[in-house]
Amino acid sequence: MAETPSAAPTTGAALPPAAAGLAAAIAKRRATVGVVGLGYVGLPLALTFAEAGFPVLGFDVDAAKVEQLGRGESYVDHAPAARLAPLVAAGKLAASADFDRLGEADALLLCVPTPLTPQREPDVSYVVATARAAAATLRRGQLVVLESTTYPGTTDELLRGELEASGLVCGQNFFLAYSPEREDPGNACYGTADIPKVVGGVDAASGDLAEALYAAALKAGVVRVSSARAAEATKLTENVFRGVNIALVNELKMVYDRMGIDVWEVLDAAETKPFGFMRFNPGPGWGGHCIPVDPFYLSWKAREYGASARFIELAGEINVAMPQYVVGKLQGALNERGKPVKGSKVLVLGLAYKKDVADPRESPAFEILDLLLGLGAEVSYHDPHIPVAPAMRSWPDLPEMRSVELTAEVLGEVDAVVVVTDHSSVDYARVRRLVPLVIDTRGVFRDHSSSLVPA
């Protein structure tokens, strides 16, 4: 159950003169909110502020997204066109690729990507590029808030320096804070406005302004922390917690499998304990834009302080190795049937990184496909949410693929199905009936039979 957010404390200190105009505009919901980076995070955020009555101007380098939004169309499931279009038509929500207009916004919320480099180090190049664009038009009284997930210190070391290159001084002429996005795509219970917003300023005035802005738009309220660093660390703590627990339950799955114990039965029983246990489910690895990426922002930064984040590194090792474990299970099961993987027809069921979403980022399905192709399997996939497999930077050698329909003919021809994502709309019982071997990484099937291999 979500905890009630604490009443948002303010510092109570008088705001510097440059902040007074913005504070008044926020109170009247007349402050123009600029959202930079209109992706999975930025678009729902822009929508939330527009629905709260603020004029919103979104920015993106992707002209196609800007054009789509201009037509009132959406490309993000949890910011549907039905909610966007009336606001666009009423002129309350607009989008632009013209970064000279950044100065039109009273508050700029930065939601650009923060991926890892191929060496698994933070890639803050998008944040730097955005900061430089914002610095070029920065004006007295503007508030800048970074929302992208990142290591503690990004806001007050990196971003502040880039913005102060404009000649304006943080905390006096302009204001700077960090507030992490906590979006959970596909979660029907919690949208952007329902999730308490953690806010930390680089200085007290910046924190006060950012707190006032979010409190005016988010019904779940604001949780004020003492600094931008504390807010950055809060977000990383949440995601490290998930990454480590996913690794733990994946390790338990492999241990119990050796011992002939069904991990799903154990988890069902363990979660009946009313306290002290929080369930995480095992799977084919970890995926999505956040969990496989963010923890390494912290372990990288920790090294600067001579500290090592061993749980993070170990969780990475275990979770990254899961696709290999799944393929090993398939290999073993085919072997028992006298078949090599080479030449076998294998259908991967689900490409998205989690149930009922269309997001393929960092999905373990790609690694599984890559491993199977390397072993000479004939692969195909089905995903009701992803009709065409996108090109993936980490798997450049994968061929172009389209989702196949689960017809009786298709299922009748495959040697095995690997359930990678447990999308709700799939008729699993039918798959089971028509396919000789199912490798189940999600606990879709709970019975035990020779045609079903948990992995």
Q: Which residues are catalytically annotated?
A: 290
Assess 181 for contact with ligand NAD (CB under 6 A).
Answer: yes
- By CB under 6 A, is residue 367 in contact with ligand NAD? no
Instruction: Report the site for ligand NAD in 250-269 (rule: CB under 6 A).
Output: none
Provide the terminal-to-terminal Cα distance of the chain, rounded to the nearest Å.
Answer: 30
40 touches ligand NAD (CB under 6 A)? yes
- Can you tell me which of 15, 19, 33, 38 binds ligand NAD, judged by CB under 6 A? 38
Binding window for ligand NAD (CB under 6 A); candidates: 20-28, 84-92, 105-113, 340-348:
105-113
Shortest distance (Å) from residue 91 CB to ligand NAD: 22
Calpha distance 151→102 (Å, rounded): 25
Q: Does 126 bind ligand NAD (CB under 6 A)?
A: yes
Asked if 445 touches ligand NAD (CB under 6 A), the answer is no
19, 22, 36, 228: which one contacts ligand NAD (CB under 6 A)? 36
Q: Is 236 in the site for ligand NAD (CB under 6 A)?
A: no
Which stretch in 38-46, 161-169, 261-269, 415-423 sits in contact with ligand NAD by CB under 6 A?
A: 38-46
Q: Shortest Cβ distance from residue 113 to ligand NAD (Å)?
A: 5
Minimum CB distance to ligand NAD, residue 452 (Å): 32
Which burial class, exposed, middle or buried, applies to 240 when counting CB atoms under 10 A from its CB (0-12, 13-18, 19+)?
buried
Question: Hey, which residues does 379 pair with through a beta bridge?
Answer: 346
Q: Pick one of 114, 234, 331, 344: the residue that binds ligand NAD (CB under 6 A).
A: 114
* Closer CB to ligand NAD, 61 or 373, in the complex: 61
**Interface with ligand NAD (CB under 6 A), residue from 111, 205, 347, 453:** 111
CA nearest neighbour of 109 among 197, 194, 2: 197
Can you give the binding site for ligand NAD, defined by CB under 6 A? 36-42, 59-62, 65, 111-114, 126, 129-130, 148-149, 181, 183, 185, 289-290
